[in-house]
């Protein structure tokens, strides 16, 4: 099983950052909460901070754990861990993604998300 972290990054206007997956990668064009694999010896907090720095060139701070769920794809099984975060420094530069948007929570269902990320949307909508 592959442990993967996803950042639910909120700004001061309570908008959430979503990112469109690279068209050349698996599930290309779908939307996601940015993040990536936890490397050997890393905590989930260190992994998400590293991944967001690599992918978007911003520094974030983890505020709290939100949820996690195991997903079985035909080629792999992942445990997706969602963490609520905020930006503490930097301006977003897309190094991995096609696009990124700040949206309201009620707009999340307007985007075609990667299957594993959909449980995060349900969790966020339940917390309204």
The whole-angstrom separation of Cα 84 and Cα 23 is 26
pLDDT of residue 128 exceeding 70, the answer is: no
What pLDDT score was predicted for residue 125? 84
**Domain CATH for 76:** 3.90.79.10
Angle at 74 between CA 72 and CA 77, to 5 degrees: 35
Range of the domain at 50: 2-126
What pLDDT digit, counting tens, does each position of 45-104 carry?
Answer: 999 999 999 999 999 999 999 999 999 988 889 999 999 999 999 999 999 999 999 999
d(CA 120, CA 43): 20
Could you tell me the strand order of the sheet in which 99-103 lies? 31-32, 16-20, 99-103
Question: pTM of the full predicted structure?
Answer: 0.94
Instruction: State the first-to-last Cα distance of the chain, in angstroms, to the nearest integer.
Output: 31
Tokens of 50: 């590293």
pLDDT tens digits, residue range 4-34?
999 999 999 999 999 999 988 888 899 999 9
Total number of domains constituting the chain: 1
């Amino acid at each position: 099983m592959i442990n993967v972290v996803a950042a639910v990054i909120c700004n001061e206007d309570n908008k959430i950052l979503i990112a469109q997956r690279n068209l050349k990668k698996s599930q290309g064009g779908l939307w996601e909460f940015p993040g990536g694999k936890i490397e050997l010896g890393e905590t989930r907090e260190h992994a998400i901070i590293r991944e967001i720095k690599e992918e978007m060139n911003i520094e974030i701070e983890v505020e709290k754990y939100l949820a996690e769920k195991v997903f079985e794809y035909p080629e792999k099984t992942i445990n997706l861990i969602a963490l609520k975060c905020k930006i503490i420094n930097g301006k977003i530069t897309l190094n991995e993604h096609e696009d990124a948007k700040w949206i309201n929570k009620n707009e999340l269902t307007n985007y075609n998300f990667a299957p594993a990320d959909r449980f995060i949307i349900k969790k966020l909508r339940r917390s309204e």
